[in-house]
Amino acid sequence: MSDNSLHAPSPEYLGELLPQYGIESLIAQGGMGAVYKASQLSLDRHVAIKVLLYEFGGDAEFRESFTTEAKAMARLNHPNLIGVFDYGTVEGMPYIVMEYVNGQSLHEAAWNQAIQPSQAVAIVKGICDGLAHAHRHDIVHRDIKPSNILLTPEAMPKIADFGLARATDSDKSGLVMGTPGYTAPEVFQDPNQAGPLADLYSVGVILHQLLTGIDPAGSMGPPTQATGNLRLDAIWRKATHIDAAQRYPSVAALAADLGKGFDIKSAGPVANRRVPSAQSARPIRVETVSGGGGAMKLVVISVLAVGGFLAYRIMQDHKKLAGEVGTEANGTEQVAPPAPVPYPGPPVRIEPAPPPEPVPGDVAKQDEPVPPPVVEPKPEEKPAADLPPGDPELRTRAIGLIADSRKKRDKELAENVRSLRSDLAGRARAAKTDEASLIGRIEQEIADDRVPIIVGAQGVGDRLAASIKLAHTKEDSIDAGHRSDLTRIRDAYVTRLKARAAAETADPTLKPRLLAQADQAADLDAWVQSLVPEPKWVPRRVSAGGFAGKWTSNDNRTNHWLAHPDGRLEVVGTTWDVHWVMLDDGSLEVRFADKKKPYKFTRDGDGWTGKTSFGQPASLTRGDW
């Protein structure tokens, strides 16, 4: 399936398929689905319609996950949960009609920021209330994280994305799921442990993140840094205890503890609040967005993000790895052990047959030479790395999952760069000449949706520097999330291969091939590059020093220097190999290839002053030669 074929239906076409709804705009599209803002004409209200793209509507597994989300949400009715109004299929394309929330996700509203404790408590208590309602109806979410929490303009949380939800009485085997950093440790050991206490663990991580501004960013362990509020520290530590038995017995119990001693309605600051991070706690502000914007990006996480569902695709046959699954009368699953293989005994050496005895009286046959026995050449053994894959279908699936994760990363990188370009354009209009020139150079060096590295500090205003730093921080977070996805895909892939190898008894050549296939994934980067090659990204650099150009020196050694933007320094009339470097403090170093002590200059008006390697004073002024 080509990437070009994955196009969401236009709002006009979807409107023809669903005439009972007025389709207003496409909100967001990802690798597997899309979400639209629409009006339910009969009730005159806004709704969000999520569709599974045609290419995946025919896949039973994708349809099952999509249907699971619709049914799970339909069973629930709570102000802290996204409501579902309808579900159906039109021309082979499943769709869900849901509540439209004109706000942001918690991830967008509070990313990398510590918010006021009273408001953090109010938000987390709302999440607990919604989850408690779901748990009472035997629904476990299994992927609670900030990007799955929508905030109304009044900052009331609403839980979305029940694509990985499962009834607590489900007879399905456990599957790898969730998001590293928010998923309880026991779930990584045994996916069947993804129950109410695992949801509670995720809520505890969110509470810690809101209080500290620290993104768990793919961590496999519980948070550790204190918040400075002893009572809240005790609460989130108990909620995220590594031993599930030591946590709160339910999210309702956690909500009750949060409600003691906090003025949740006013969401005012807590006394003696200390924020350990560099940023101060702030009240959260939720921005509303127009119909064509990103208001409901969160709602499509189960369709747009690979996340836990990618691992679901790899591990869906988990219960088949050790043998056939049978069901006893009491309903419990029994895994039949593999059939025993009889010991074949010691190897038998087969000698070549002796030549036939000569027949008496047959002189001609006696005189004929006996031909040597024909020995078949022994096939050359190949090293394990060169063996064909033991499970080519799983390898093909891994390639698809890696490609999907990469598309998700590229989309997020593009959004980050679009935000930076918009910020740069706004600052350029009000910037002075030097800063405007620098902004232009930065825009020119943006390539492959990557933020260029700024070398030096001269000419970079505080606000511009903060914008670039924020863009770099987001870029690092996107890359870390992508690597976390790749690690999870690889780990599920290797687990599946090794489990199948352990259960293999029929084909003696298959087990080593399965293990060799697993060993090839030991080096994550090399494995990913071998399956889905990607050009190596080379960082682009922009000098913020404003030093490029012609300079005249009074150091009595050389009169003219020509500074190139790439850092080369051409000393006119000599053959010296010299480079200039702008340091972080804005000072200038002129470095010589023969390892002489560099000249160091500081900005002095329109020029630079400093000393030579011999301690003699020197200055540089703009040249006109």
Among 77-91, 114-128, 381-395, where is mean pLDDT lowest?
381-395
Domain membership flag for residue 380: no
| pLDDT the model gives residue 372 | 57
Answer yes or no: is pLDDT of 123 > 70: yes
| pLDDT the model gives residue 159 | 93
Domain membership flag for residue 343: no
* Domain's final residue, options 44, 69, 99: 99
Same domain, 183 and 275: yes
Distance between CA atoms of residues 23 and 33, nearest Å: 16
| pLDDT the model gives residue 476 | 87
Does the active-site annotation cover 161? Answer: no
194 versus 296: the higher-pLDDT residue is 194
Domain membership flag for residue 385: no
What lies within 8 Å, CB to CB, of 144 at 6+ separation is 127, 131, 159, 182, 199, 202, 203, 206
Q: How far is CA 502 from CA 134, 169, 190, 510, 597, in A?
A: 38, 30, 18, 11, 63
Same domain, 112 and 243: yes
Mean pLDDT of 367-390: 56
Same domain, 554 and 614: yes
* pLDDT tens sequence across 11-43: 988 998 999 999 999 887 765 778 899 999 999
Domain membership flag for residue 301: yes
Same domain, 170 and 289: yes
Answer yes or no: is pLDDT of 581 > 60: yes
| pLDDT the model gives residue 218 | 67
Domain membership flag for residue 602: yes
Alpha-helix runs per DSSP H in 504-563? 510-519, 524-531
With beta carbons less than 8 A apart as the criterion, state whether 120 and 207 touch.
Answer: yes
471 versus 461: the higher-pLDDT residue is 471
Distance between CA atoms of residues 315 and 326, nearest Å: 19
Answer yes or no: is pLDDT of 276 > 80: no
| pLDDT the model gives residue 72 | 76
**With bands split at pLDDT 50, 70 and 90, how would you rate the model's confidence at 236?**
very high
| pLDDT the model gives residue 232 | 94
Mean pLDDT of 558-584: 78
Q: What is the CATH number of the domain that holds 213?
A: 1.10.510.10
Domain membership flag for residue 373: no
Q: How much is the pTM?
A: 0.48
Same domain, 607 and 573: yes
State residue 611 phi and psi, 5-degree precision: -135, 155
Question: How many percent of the chain have pLDDT more than 90?
Answer: 23
623 versus 371: the higher-pLDDT residue is 623
Tell me which residue of 147, 96, 64, 550 sits closest to 316, measured CA to CA. Answer: 64
Answer yes or no: is pLDDT of 348 > 50: no
With beta carbons less than 8 A apart as the criterion, state whether 23 and 12 touch.
Answer: yes
Same domain, 83 and 116: no
Same domain, 29 and 126: no
Same domain, 221 and 192: yes
Among 109-123, 160-174, 284-298, where is mean pLDDT lowest?
284-298
Distance between CA atoms of residues 54 and 91, nearest Å: 9
| pLDDT the model gives residue 165 | 53
Number of domains in the chain: 4
Domain membership flag for residue 308: yes
Same domain, 168 and 285: yes
With beta carbons less than 8 A apart as the criterion, state whether 598 and 613 touch.
Answer: yes
**With bands split at pLDDT 50, 70 and 90, how would you rate the model's confidence at 117?**
very high
What is the span of the domain harbouring residue 497? 390-541
Mean pLDDT of 186-202: 87
Answer yes or no: is pLDDT of 233 > 90: yes
Domain membership flag for residue 496: yes
Tell me which residue of 210, 188, 187, 209 sits closest to 197, measured CA to CA. Answer: 187
Same domain, 142 and 109: yes
Residue 617, beta-bridge partner list = 611
Q: What is the CATH number of the domain that holds 92?
A: 3.30.200.20
Same domain, 168 and 301: yes
Same domain, 204 and 63: no
Among 287-291, 302-306, 324-328, 545-549, where is mean pLDDT lowest?
324-328
* Domain's final residue, options 319, 336, 356: 319
Q: Which of 129, 143, 391, 404 is catalytic?
A: 143
Answer yes or no: is pLDDT of 57 > 50: yes
Residue type, 292: G
Tell me which residue of 419, 489, 492, 428 sits closest to 461, measured CA to CA. Answer: 428
